[in-house]
Structure 1
Amino acid sequence: MTNPVPRRRLVGLSTKMYFSLQRTRDFTNSFISKLADIPQELLSSIDIFIIPDFISLTNTVAQLESSPIPIWIGAQDCHWEDQGAFTGEVSPSVLSSAGVKLVEIGHAERRRIFGEDDAIVAKKAAAASRNGMIPLACIGERTQGDVHVAVDECRVQVDAIMSSVPDESEVILAYEPVWAIGASQPAGETHILNVVSGIRGLDSVQKRKGTTRVLYGGSAGPGLYEKLKDGLDGLFLGRFGHDPQQFIKTIREVAEA
């Protein structure tokens, strides 16, 4: 069974913890200005998102109100409970009320540095979904190697996420091979397309009623999507999108591909 809802292309970025408060403001203003130079009809069939740090989030929401087209705002993480004695954590309920559209969960850095496992990622996916947001779940194999091994490693991650969210809810999977994050070059196109094909073929994805979009996010940047357009719904940019001009260039490439 395939998804009944046509999948729109999707492209966006996370600033991680690289930007100062002022740089986020400047980046967003520059991005909005440059986005106005792209014909709006070209952007009518894609979704664009920005995921700033938590401190910059509400300011960015306000800035994006002046955008010529709607831009989704994302959060870099959330807690799995809506409220409680969780000092230092961020409530998914509060994020939703602040205007957040999607929540990034399960990034390799969260797994490696903060010890998040598949069970925690699944609970966070459920929290985002029940608060009306879309979980953007990062998945990927740890070491470079065989496609079948990569798909098997991703299967465990994907199955945990899909089992935690309502069947009709939207989910975005960001395929990010851990070994390619921060690398000078992304993974090879053949490897990416074959692994993503395997991910799309998983029972937990095939049997869903809700839309499941798959992005590529390991050292993604301008010039890549043309090579991946037949198998991927878009790109999730890291540092290569931190230059507004490069971000705009990639958005145009995804829209035109």
Structure 2
Amino acid sequence: MHKTQQEAIAFLGEFLGYLADTPGDRDVVLCVPFTSLSVLSKSLHGTRVKLGAQNVHWAEQGAFTGEISAPMLVELGVRYVIIGHSERRQYFGETDATVNQRLKAAQKHGLTPILCVGETKAQRDAGETEAHIFNQLALDLVGVDQTNLVIAYEPIWAIGTGETCNENEANRVIGLIRSKLTNADVPIQYGGSVNVNNIEAIMAQPEIDGVLVGGASLEAESFGRIVNV
């Protein structure tokens, strides 16, 4: 929950300047608050940046006050949507059942969902990392088309804490996630205190296809440097 519309436009103007030499095969997505989707959609025409939302409801319309449907996002030119982020699960009652519903609703309308999975510090300390993530995948991906999907591994204990998961461990877990998929080509990202100091080590790992960037994406220069690694 960052940036007003005016702040988002100012950010974009600076950020695009860092993408002049970004490799053409790289997908760059800005997942912004609902209030900035419309204004950014207009500003992104002709650029190589795609627009993403941070959540979507499973119903196309109805009495779901405060929610946003997939058709509403599509109308604004949104291409991607984050689903099941740990903060949604932790603070807003998101469950694997509702995550699954949202994933299928997004795909039905041509959106590419970015599914977030990951363990808490307590689960990692108890040796439950693999079991927890495998359970999330088993429940979240029922009936989901794995040819139109991105997965983000976000160890919850590393989000916004400055404590990054060791790149070798992140690579190991992401490899395990890939082994549970029917489509091994699903892009799998790492998310959790990604910054300019650790991005090169993270992206050197063979199983990691990209990153889901939080705090470091709020400043155009740092995010531009991350994108260009």
TM-score range, shorter chain: over 0.9
Q: Secondary structure at the match of 2:28?
A: strand
RMSD after superposition: 1.8
Q: Deviations over 1:4-27 (max 9, x none)?
A: xxxxxxxxxxxxx12122211110
Q: Which residue of 1 aligns with 2:138?
A: 159
Q: Which residue of 1 aligns with 2:128?
A: 149
1:218 aligns with 2:192: yes
Q: CA deviation at 1:226?
A: 2.5
Q: Which residue of 2 aligns with 1:208?
A: 183
Structure 1 residues 143, 239: closer, same or farther in 2, change over 3 A?
Answer: same
Q: Using the alignment, how far apart are the partners of 1:197 and 1:166 within structure 2? A: 20
Q: Which residue of 1 aligns with 2:37?
A: 57
Q: Deviations over 1:95-152 (max 9, x none)?
A: 1121111110101111111111100001000111111011101110012636962121
Q: Which residue of 2 aligns with 1:4?
A: none
Q: How many residues align?
A: 226
Q: Secondary structure at the match of 2:144?
A: coil
Q: CA deviation at 1:223?
A: 3.6
Structure 1 residues 45, 147: closer, same or farther in 2, change over 3 A?
Answer: farther
Q: Using the alignment, how far apart are the partners of 1:63 and 1:34 within structure 2? A: 16
Gaps of 5+ in 2: none
Q: CA deviation at 1:201?
A: 1.1
Q: CA deviation at 1:66?
A: 4.4
Q: Deviations over 1:52-104 (max 9, x none)?
A: 1101101101111142xx21100010100111222221011111121111110
Q: Using the alignment, how far apart are the partners of 2:126 and 2:12 within structure 1? A: 38
Q: Using the alignment, how far apart are the partners of 2:83 and 2:183 within structure 1? A: 20
Q: Which residue of 2 aligns with 1:71?
A: 49
Q: Which residue of 2 aligns with 1:24?
A: 8
- Identify the match of residue 87 of structure 1 among 51, 54, 65: 65
Q: Which residue of 2 aligns with 1:177?
A: 155
Normalising to structure 2: TM-score of the pair?
A: 0.92
Q: Using the alignment, how far apart are the partners of 2:116 and 2:193 within structure 1? A: 13
Q: Do the aligned partners of 2:30 and 2:49 also contact (CA within 8 Å) in 1?
A: yes
Q: Secondary structure at the match of 1:124?
A: helix
Q: Do the aligned partners of 2:157 and 2:163 also contact (CA within 8 Å) in 1?
A: no
Q: Using the alignment, how far apart are the partners of 1:74 and 1:199 within structure 2? A: 23
1:250 aligns with 2:229: no
- Identify the match of residue 23 of structure 2 among 17, 31, 43: 43
> Which moves more between the two structures, 233-242 or 79-88?
79-88
Q: Which residue of 2 aligns with 1:237?
A: 213
Q: Do the aligned partners of 1:225 and 1:234 also contact (CA within 8 Å) in 2?
A: no
Q: Secondary structure at the match of 1:73?
A: strand
Gaps of 5+ in 1: 1-16
1:118 aligns with 2:92: no
